Structure 1
Amino acid sequence: MLRRHDRNHEGVALTANDLTQRRGRAATIADVAKLAGVATSTVSRALSNPARVNHVTRQRIEEAVGQLGYVPSAQARSLTSGRTGVVGVLVPDIANPFYFDLIRGAQRQLRAAGYAQLLLDTEESHEIESSMVELMLKNADGVVLAASRLDDETLTAAAARQPLVTINRDVPDVPTVILDTPEGMRQTVVHLRSLGHTRAVFVAGPSGSWSSARRWEALLAAGEELGVEMTMIGPWAPTAAAGSAAADAVIASSATAAVVFNDLLAIGMLGRLQERGVRVPLDLSVVGCDDIFGASFCNPPLTTVSAPIEEAGRVAVTMLLSQLGSAGGSRSRTVLPTYLTTRESSGPAPT
């Protein structure tokens, strides 16, 4: 127990209970300093950077903290250490099931490291994402950006001002986690060609989407190599609601197979194709991308490119923590594999 105590005006020693009960509130850093017999600045240093305080003094402060039940506020920790204990995770559409596992993976990794996750929905908007990244400069220790809509210059500038990791957006000098969907696209073309398809269409995602552009490039290259004529329609919003118009455009083409930017859009297409009397896969094969929750039990179950989405969230946080000094290693780029999962929505080309 501490031998040094604060004293009242009569010289009577005060206990830890006296210090808190007389004030009728939770213990403060000043209470800890009085009970330990040190300055508040010394307590602040002991809590934020223990190595700067000698062992005896630090032990006395730790005892005072334990007796008083003192818990530093997030604001106080931020003022003394320059850290908030918060990491911002920005996603384009919080309602898209693709991001569920990513968010879970990031949160679990952050919680294990003692950080809180601040989840923000950028609503597929460049302007909203830009303003939120700016806001995170003051309110978070770092940022994870999923499928960023920001241009390369803006991302590079943001990464120079604050620890930042992107997911599915490759920019020089910006740490990133990449899902190797081009390999999944190649596997898709191989699959379709083996089923006799020679004409396929890519249903593109949003204009300016880095992921959509990469998928189209991979499909073109694989199509040229394997003898599958690839055309592109779009852009389309990556939502089920956009699937009706996308399906009509695919019907108007001469393609026997459609490779779709993401599963939400593909699932929306399936409903419209059924309304139009187009049989999947007898008349048209449909392949999605992401393997979201629901892809395996839509009608028909969707052939799609699967990816380790939760792992992407965990790896992105690990890379961010290495910038914050909370984890070892200094990876600046990680590529995670993808693979095609075949289900009933793809079949032999119609004869």
Structure 2
Amino acid sequence: MAPTLTEVAQRAGVSLSTASRAFSEPDRIAQDTLDRVVRAAAEIGYVASSPRRQRSGARPTRATTVAMVVPDLANPVIASFVKAAQAHGWYRRQILVLTDADNSPDREREILGELHGRVDGFIACSPRLPAHDIVELCGDAPLVLVNRDSDEVPSVLADAEHGLSQAVEYLRVLGHERIAYVQGNRLSWSNEHRVAAVRRLAQENDVDLEVLGWHAETIAGGNAAAASVVATGATAVIAHNDLVAMGIIEGAAQLGLAVPDDLSVVGIDDTTMAQVAKPQLTSIQVPMSRAGVISVDLLHGLLAAEPADAEAPRTVHLPTQLVVRQSTAPASGWNPREARR
């Protein structure tokens, strides 16, 4: 295996970002530090690979290589993001190298470090590492973040607040005075953002809210959360994603509860699985396919621009929408006349 920039940094006793600047912007670091990095690179046989750029608007003469890091390719919403990004990347002459970090920040760190200097740019989707750490690891390579906000690099954020607002108001109108929210991964930007939004929305709609702990973002995670949901006395629950929601439906059935008669369930993502679930799942539509296309376009702009042409990092917010299906119904004793007041 070829020597990596991470190994150069370790041998020279400097940070990864400093080692990166030694090859991309040597005038920005002290001469003795530069000498150490260059000497370390020579000792282990590291050959720097600088990002290949062109002037804005020029057509690439060859394809660029882009590393795409995702947290869990088994998640259908991540798969839809990847599929859209790969299709659009082909149009943009980008070859995507896909890596699955298995929801591990340590694995993300290792992947980014190993691929630095071997690819032209990075797209990190729903990463578990903090944004600044990712920026440091990518060094001078163009980077776009998805579902992780940053003031250092462009980002694409699927803002679930729009759909959550619709969901909370919808459940309130159906007579649900107490709802539960099942969290996803504790390192997820989306989870943090959604919990903060649903807390505020519940207060604004005069709805009692019970926020449950972190769970695996899988059907098994939702199944494990079902008993806790029932124990809250909530008549409705919003889950971090569709997989968790379907797990809650399965777990509720094992406890003798019917959905939606005894418990209304709302998911987030509106995957194809929501449409074929039994009952069909009410879900908040999150445009992750659109996020895949936009992230490729943003990275294309970074790759095509000269450093002097770089603009301030751009953040793209994508709205979400509630899609009502069979897994939600009025609470017991619901009076439509009271709901209209």
TM-score, length basis structure 1 = 0.74
Distance (Å, rounded) in 2 between the aligned partners of 1:143 and 1:174: 11
Q: Deviations over 1:167-199 (max 9, x none)?
A: 111122121001110111111101101101111
Distance (Å, rounded) in 1 between the aligned partners of 2:289 and 2:265: 25
The reply to whether residue 250 of structure 1 matches residue 229 of structure 2 is: yes
The reply to whether residue 335 of structure 1 matches residue 335 of structure 2 is: no
Retained in 2: the 8 A contact 1:203–1:258?
Answer: yes
Partner of 2:42: none
Retained in 1: the 8 A contact 2:113–2:138?
Answer: no
Distance (Å, rounded) in 2 between the aligned partners of 1:337 and 1:323: 24
The reply to whether residue 348 of structure 1 matches residue 333 of structure 2 is: no
Retained in 2: the 8 A contact 1:183–1:218?
Answer: no
Retained in 2: the 8 A contact 1:92–1:121?
Answer: yes
Distance (Å, rounded) in 2 between the aligned partners of 1:329 and 1:196: 52
Amino acid at match of 1:243: G
Residue 325 of structure 1: CA displacement?
A: 0.6
Q: Deviations over 1:245-264 (max 9, x none)?
A: 10111111111110000111
Retained in 2: the 8 A contact 1:141–1:162?
Answer: yes
**Residues 139-158 of structure 1 mapped to structure 2, 5 A cutoff:** 139-158=118-137
Distance (Å, rounded) in 2 between the aligned partners of 1:139 and 1:184: 39
Distance (Å, rounded) in 2 between the aligned partners of 1:174 and 1:80: 16
Partner of 2:275: 296
The reply to whether residue 94 of structure 1 matches residue 50 of structure 2 is: no
Q: Which of 162, 165, 186 is equivalent to 1:186?
A: 165
Q: Deviations over 1:263-303 (max 9, x none)?
A: 11111111121121111111111000001121111111110
Distance (Å, rounded) in 1 between the aligned partners of 2:166 and 2:243: 20
Residue 229 of structure 1: CA displacement?
A: 1.1
**Residues 12-91 of structure 1 mapped to structure 2, 5 A cutoff:** 85-91=64-70
Cα gap change, 1:164 to 1:251, in 2 (>3 Å)? same
Which has the bigger relative contact order, CA under 8 A and spacing at least 6? 2
Cα gap change, 1:296 to 1:80, in 2 (>3 Å)? closer
Residue 85 of structure 1: CA displacement?
A: 2.2
Q: Deviations over 1:62-90 (max 9, x none)?
A: xxxxxxxxxxxxxxxx7995898210111
Partner of 1:278: 257
Residue 138 of structure 1: CA displacement?
A: 2.2
Distance (Å, rounded) in 2 between the aligned partners of 1:79 and 1:259: 46
> Over aligned residue pairs, what C-alpha RMSD do you find?
2.1
Q: Deviations over 1:193-247 (max 9, x none)?
A: 1101111111001112211111111111111111111111110010111122101
Retained in 2: the 8 A contact 1:204–1:260?
Answer: yes
**Number of aligned positions between the proteins:** 274
Residue 161 of structure 1: CA displacement?
A: 2.7
Distance (Å, rounded) in 2 between the aligned partners of 1:80 and 1:283: 57
The reply to whether residue 206 of structure 1 matches residue 185 of structure 2 is: yes
The reply to whether residue 322 of structure 1 matches residue 295 of structure 2 is: no
Distance (Å, rounded) in 1 between the aligned partners of 2:268 and 2:87: 25
Amino acid at match of 2:330: P
- What is the DSSP-based 3-state SS (H/G/I as helix, E as strand, rest coil) of the residue aligned with 1:343? coil
Partner of 2:145: 166
Amino acid at match of 1:310: S
Partner of 2:23: none
Amino acid at match of 2:277: C
Partner of 1:312: 291
Amino acid at match of 1:113: R
Amino acid at match of 1:346: T
Distance (Å, rounded) in 2 between the aligned partners of 1:293 and 1:134: 35
Partner of 1:7: none
Retained in 1: the 8 A contact 2:50–2:117?
Answer: no
Distance (Å, rounded) in 2 between the aligned partners of 1:239 and 1:349: 27
Show structure 2 runs of 5+ residues with no match: 1-48, 54-61, 334-341
Q: Give the structure with higher Rg (CA).
A: 1
